[in-house]
Amino acid sequence: MRIRWRESGSRFDADAWTKRCLRKLSVTGGPAPSPVKNGGFDATVWLPHVTMKDGGKTAVWYGHSRAAELAIELIINRAVDEDLIEVMTKSMLPTLAARRLGESRRWAVYDVSFVSPPGYTLQERRMHSGDIALKFGAPGGRGLILRQVYPAKLALERREMKGWLQCFPFKERRRYRCAGELAEWTTHSVGKVHRLPGRKQFGWPFGWIAPHVCMAACRRDDERGRLMFAEHEARRKVSEKVIETALAEMDWAYRN
């Protein structure tokens, strides 16, 4: 299966775009009711039986959401097992949804899952075996990094907890400086976590220009053998609520 998408503005013509896409295909069957349910799409086209110019069999779905300003093309290779196609069309496609940029959003990468808060958009991602991280940004210089490292036992043998809280998976323009001691923090929703305050500022002589404060926290999940990190960054004051909520909502896919 292949998914392609493009941003659409207020003047975007969904019908014209769909026709341009379909001209590249040789359609042998008519449209059918869309398998996508309640996804926020205003216009959809579902062609379950299409013959490509090279003779290959495929199924295509097109959808446009005015609210999310998003147009999606989805192509399924019908050469795969029919049972798999049935799983896609009956179990997976009905869950497809489009949301506005900056809304609270769920993310799942392999067996790791996060939730980003409203107002934060994805900026960078890192997907290494045993180390998956997403970096989000929000207006006003706010930033959030969500990360999972596993297995936890091996990770802590390589580096102590304080070292992990000072280890950033993405390149930083500002230099990090520790601004306190490693301490335990008893949260309402996830219990005890380790946290470490810090500062980020440009190198000398520009350190006085827009310095940021940050707070990194880690929850150890012994059941799954994981280290779960959330780091919030802001110009003046970090939000403990954002950190706690991010840690509590991690692994939503596993729990469900």
Per-residue pLDDT of 33-74, as tens digits, reads 888 887 889 888 888 888 777 777 888 899 999 988 999 999
What whole-number distance in Å separates Cα of residue 7 and Cα of residue 121?
Answer: 15
**pLDDT tens by residue, 159-213:** 999 999 998 899 888 889 999 999 999 999 999 999 999 999 888 888 888 899 9
User: What pTM value is reported for the model?
Assistant: 0.79
Q: What is the CA radius of gyration of the chain?
A: 22
For the chain, list the domains and their CATH numbers: 2-95 (3.30.310), 105-255 (3.40.1000.10)
Work out whether the CA dihedral 12, 18, 19, 20 comes out positive or negative.
positive
Confidence of residue 10 (pLDDT cuts 50, 70, 90): confident
Contacts of 91 (CB under 8 A, 6+ apart): none
- H or E segment to which residue 216 belongs: strand 212-221
In the chain, the amino acid numbered 112 is V
Report how far apart, in Å, the C-alpha atoms of 229 and of each of 111, 141, 146, 149, 161 are: 16, 20, 6, 8, 11
- For residue 147 the two structure tokens come to 């990360």
